[in-house]
A and B are shown apart, each in its own frame.
Chain A
Amino acid sequence: MTYLLRSWQGSIALLLCLLALVRLPLLATDASTPFAAAGTAGVLLLIAVGALACFMRISRAARALILFVTAHTAAWLLIGGMSGNEGNASLSYFLLIAASWLLGWRCISELAEIRPSSRQTMMALRLLIPAIFGAWVLILWEAITRGAGVPFILLPPPSAIWDRIVSSVPILAADVRQTVFKAVLFGYVVGCAAGFAVAILADRISFLRRGLLPIGNLMSALPIIGVAPIMVMWFGFDWQSKAAVVIVMTFFPMLVNTVAGLSASGSMERDLMRSYASGYWQTLVKLRLPAAMLFIFNALKINSTLALIGAIVAEFFGTPIVGMGFRISTEIGRMNVDMVWAEIAVAALIGSVFYGVVALVELATTFWHPSNRGG
């Protein structure tokens, strides 16, 4: 075995390939547009080449490259051949999908073992590996839902969700405007600012701090989202009630984190400020706030997610006829599952972007902190 490497993914992929060959064709016999013989042969060949590459003693990068190309081309061909044949896939089709998935897995394993010397390559790998993983979740989802003809309302294939996103951009945009740009942003800014202001106040008045902090800590464990119906009742169906929910949800994390952050500066540094006879506000601005930044940003990041959740869930309790939560709850009632998925995909995207923006601002502000210096 000195010329060959061992690889269980490669062995099983080969085995699956053989089994698939025995159980051809790829589609049920009455399928409207069956696979061309060349296409089937191509897929089998690609998978076989990929599987054999697993055993070859060539450089890791070369193996990964071969696997990357073969696994994804095979999957592409298999999914492409599905159009018009939904629900007609045979066992052999799924065996080949499984085989190409194993190759994809092997590809990830190989990439994960690569230790590049330059930092750029490292960064690229750090993005590429999860991207391949994500792609395979989508590939399997697409192939299984379409191949096995999973009922649309149960789980629509990613391609259908994408079509829905593309065809309903105006609706989605209106929902985002209503939920994110009105309710979430307003609530987030006011909630965080209020939490911060009260934290400063609590810092000045120790009695207040000792009273508020345990309550604030407790609040983080409570299902605050439950105030949504009350807020809808008080502030009406429009975005103001959602903003109120967001304010309540974001207030306490900000309060607790800022108070914790304000005590984060070291006693030596504080003694230094004392030795300069520096006043409360000077010490606050020059020492304690910069030292608290990491905590404050932590709250801002937690709140970015909480704010979106708050606004969307609050819309389940009543809204005008626009908004992400409204869309989710009404479209699911009509069993338009693809629209719900589209809305969720948009929510996920906005959530990540929101968080990402806060994280970038954090990086720009607290680059000096050991946890952000990298290296």
Chain B
Amino acid sequence: MRSETFASRIGPVLTIVATIIVIWYAAAVWMNAPFQRDLDRRGDVTSTTMEFIAKTLSQPKPIVPAPHQVAQNVFENTFLRKVSSNRSLVYHSWVTLSSTLAGFAFGTLLGVLIAVGIVHVKALDRSLMPWIIASQTVPILAIAPMVVVVLAAINVTGLIPKALISTYLSFFPVAVGMVKGLRSPDIIQLDLMRTYNASRWQTFWKLRVPASMPFLFTSMKVAVAASLVGAIVAELPTGAAAGIGSKLLAGSYYSQTIDMWAALIAGSLLAVILVTIVGIGARLIDRRMGVRPA
């Protein structure tokens, strides 16, 4: 592929983003207008078109909040509030992030261990592997509310139930990716180890593990995103006191649309940050593993 300049890559993206924002504003005016018209009629206010549009874009509980309202909300609740405040997005993000990370760490560890077992024990490969693959077709996220509520019934609350859901969501992709990775060395490379009379242990550490690293990181990118979704959904059922999920739920209860959108943006930013960090790790590993830079 031709090497593309920065401008030619970023230009189209910015154009599309700008288009989305314009459409968003238009939608906000259009969707909020009926309510505003109603309000004006009752209050007997007459306003020019420009004034009317301005009002549709500054309602406290709009159907579609305008981008600047959301941006303002995100900004205020991120930078202007004390981190410990219940309204601080940093606080809620941290609550979600902590269970995401805990779950992701355990899920990855578990996934790697299971993968090692599957690659080395044939009985596990034949019996467990089909279930792991099949379980990826199942909406396991549906189990989240039950795990949270049942654990709450035996007084396990807070981070652990959420982390548990993140764990099992992130475990599957890692296990599958790692099995693929540990099996990625071709026959020639395995034969080579055999001609050296290398032990199983040596073949594992010197060949299988390094060869699996790119696969591990690719699956970790999927896993960390899944882990975040798990943590957010786990915050829904009990009306957890804090976290991005609870913020979404509270927003939907009280029609605090702007808060809801802000929470969504915060969750997305969190996802972008997490995936980017793992992505950088993946890039470094790729380079370390001698993958030709593209």
Contact = CB atoms under 8 A, between A and B. Distances in A.
B263 A325 contact: no
A101 interface: no
**B interface bracket (residues with beta carbon within 8 Å of A):** 35 or more
Contacts of A209: 12
A215 interface: yes
Contacts of B221: 221
A6 interface: no
Nearest to A343: B142
A105 B64 CA distance: 57
A88 B244 CA distance: 45
B145 A332 contact: yes
A158 to B, nearest CB: 15
A153 B146 contact: no
Contacts of B260: 229-230
Nearest to A226: B264
B229 A316 contact: no
Contacts of A129: 123, 126-127, 130
B16 A154 contact: no
A54 to B, nearest CB: 14
Interface in B256-281: 257, 260-261, 263-264, 267-268, 271-272, 275
Given A108-B127, A233-B252, A153 B153 contact: yes
B139 A211 contact: no
Contacts of A228: 248
A133 B272 contact: no
A226 B246 CA distance: 11
B149 A351 contact: no
A84 to B, nearest CB: 26
Interface in A76-114: 105, 108-109, 111-113
Nearest to A113: B122
A130 to B, nearest CB: 4
A355 B139 CA distance: 11
Interface string B121-165: 011011111110010111111110110011001100000000000
A344 B55 CA distance: 46
B146 A328 contact: yes
B206 to A, nearest CB: 27
Interface string B196-236: 00000000000000000000000001000100110011001
Interface in B232-256: 232-233, 236-237, 244, 248-249, 251-252, 255
A20 interface: no
Contacts of B2: none
B192 interface: no
A125 to B, nearest CB: 8
A304 interface: yes
24 contacts: A108-B123, A113-B122, A126-B126, A129-B130, A130-B127, A130-B130, A133-B128, A214-B9, A215-B17, A221-B221, A221-B275, A222-B225, A222-B271, A226-B232, A228-B248, A229-B251, A233-B257, A305-B137, A308-B139, A309-B141, A316-B145, A316-B236, A337-B146, A348-B140
Given A211-B14, A222-B271, A354-B137, 10 more contacts: A130-B128, A130-B129, A130-B131, A221-B272, A223-B225, A223-B228, A226-B244, A328-B142, A329-B145, A348-B139
